[in-house]
Amino acid sequence: MKEYYLVDKNANADLITNLENTKEVNKIIVFIAQQLNLDNEKQQEIINTQCIAERIELIIQFIKDEIEIVKAESKIRNIVRDQIEKRQKDIYLNEQLQAIHKELGTDKTNSEFEKIEKKLNQIKMPKETKDSMYEYLSKLQMMNPISAEATVLLNYLHVICSLPWNKNKKIKINLERTEKILEESHFGLDKIKERILEYLAVQKHTNNKLAGPIICLIGPPGVGKTSLGKSIADSMDREFISIPLGGVSDEAEIRGHRRTYIGAMPGRIIQKLSKLKYNNPVVVLDEIDKISSDFRGDPSSALLQVLDPEQNKKFLDNYLDVDYDLSQVMFICTANTLNMSTPLIDRMEIIRLSSYTQEEKFEIAKKHLITKNMESHNLTKKEIKISDGAIKNLIKHYTQEAGVRNLEREIAKLCRKATKKIINIEEHNKNNKLNKEEFKTIEITDKNLEEFLGVKKFLNEEASKKNEIGLATGLAWTEER
């Protein structure tokens, strides 16, 4: 019983003296039975045992049993207590961490997780992809939010959530409207406009089922390749992005870096797409002939996967690490020359844009560039007037190019100079309290063009003044092959 009192902390150990003072065996046994809290069955067993020696043996056995039970119980209790203590410690530490975050101003993490989860719930993406994203999210929730790993994972989930996975913009194809928009934005270029209308007609007739070939616009600088891409997007009521590829020599620019790299980012295509709402924009891959390849891989081979309608359903960006469907995107490429790899050329339908003649430039300037620049400079027809002679002079003597980019720049210069004049007059009138009506339209003509733009930059050459037999009037070199 001394041993029993040692292990059972609940028993009253003082009672051991009672036991020591008792001399009668039966009384001792009854006392012990009470102390051990024996159940009725066991008590009956004791009573049933007639022989005193056997009775003592039995009660000793019961004491031993009870000691084992008490020992086992206390062991279990210890384990449970340890666990509870650990949990309480965790809760306590977490509370502390939250307090620290609050103090540092980094306590947005929890609401951020909720936001990500909400977004994930809404996104329509393939089920396996979604499942793995939920897994990443729960992993992230267990990480220390200020660790580098957590930051990487958080950024990753942000990129995933911002991509327009299956959100398709409903497009109503209306050829008449498209034609009108293209006509309004660009003069001439009939071949390419016609091709766009054909493309749309096929799309409409096949319910967008047929993945059309990728169009590649080839032509000298400034003939409207990039801006035409934007107009095509507008005319089809699609979102528009342009991805400049000039100087890209790293495959990772197209395909992204693995997430394990420090500062890893998705490729340019995924980066730009993540800023959009819908997955069916028009994407202009600009200056596709200017990509080069070096030791960091070959970006043009990565582009092959992007441009191949069979493969781009499962475009794999290294950063995303899950397939992304690019098949709804309408790709348009632009290039100055055909100087690119044969497999790439093979994937595309080449449409050539030639340089503009002086007459075409005149029309473009009159119908588009002047109005555009007057609008952007907030000039009205009352304030500025550019005569036809001035435009022709401008084209002939201030620009010498295939496209109209310099022409546009010179027109912008005219608008700038005119605006300055107008402001000068306004201020002068105000200071001298003169009537507003004194203001006259600023007229730019053949005669006064030099006042605005300075001396002529290009003069007609001797040879083109008078035709002579056997005299070459010019020598041209182009990049085309």
Ligand X SMILES: Nc1ncnc2c1ncn2[C@@H]1O[C@H](COP(=O)(O)OP(=O)(O)O)[C@@H](O)[C@H]1O
Binding site for Mg ion (CB under 5 A): 226
CA distance 235 to 172: 10
The single residue among 7, 179, 188, 446 that binds ligand X, judged by CB under 6 A, is 188
The single residue among 408, 411, 418, 442 that binds ligand X, judged by CB under 6 A, is 408
* By the rule CB under 6 A, 221 interacts with ligand X: yes
* By the rule CB under 6 A, 354 interacts with ligand X: no
* By the rule CB under 6 A, 404 interacts with ligand X: yes
With CB under 6 A, what is the number of residues at the site for ligand X? 18
Maximum alpha-carbon separation in the chain: 153
Whichever of 226 and 301 has its CB closer to ligand X, that residue is 226
Nearest alpha carbon to residue 279 among 345, 340, 347, 328: 328
**Which of ligand X, Mg ion, none is residue 318 near (CB under 5 to 8 Å by kind)?**
none
Task: Tell me the per-residue interface mask from 374 to 403 with ligand X, x by CB under 6 A, - otherwise.
Answer: -----------------------------x
- In the complex, least distance from residue 431 CB atom to ligand X, rounded to whole angstroms: 38
The single residue among 255, 257, 268, 368 that binds ligand X, judged by CB under 6 A, is 368
- In the complex, least distance from residue 399 CB atom to ligand X, rounded to whole angstroms: 12
Residue closest to ligand X, measured at CB: 224
**Which of ligand X, Mg ion, none is residue 302 near (CB under 5 to 8 Å by kind)?**
none
**160 touches 273 (CB < 8 A):** no
Whichever of 222 and 299 has its CB closer to ligand X, that residue is 222
Whichever of 284 and 384 has its CB closer to Mg ion, that residue is 284
CA distance 377 to 11: 98
- In the complex, least distance from residue 378 CB atom to ligand X, rounded to whole angstroms: 18
* By the rule CB under 6 A, 332 interacts with ligand X: no
Site for ligand X in 222-251 (CB under 6 A): 222-227
CA distance 236 to 15: 97
Bridge-based pairing of strands 323-324 and 315-316 is antiparallel
* By the rule CB under 6 A, 361 interacts with ligand X: no
Whichever of 32 and 233 has its CB closer to ligand X, that residue is 233
Identify the sign of the CA torsion 384, 390, 392, 394.
negative
Bridge-based pairing of strands 330-335 and 282-286 is parallel
**80 touches 87 (CB < 8 A):** no
The single residue among 204, 397, 405, 409 that binds ligand X, judged by CB under 6 A, is 405
Positions in the binding site for ligand X (CB under 6 A): 186-189, 221-227, 334, 364, 368, 403-405, 408
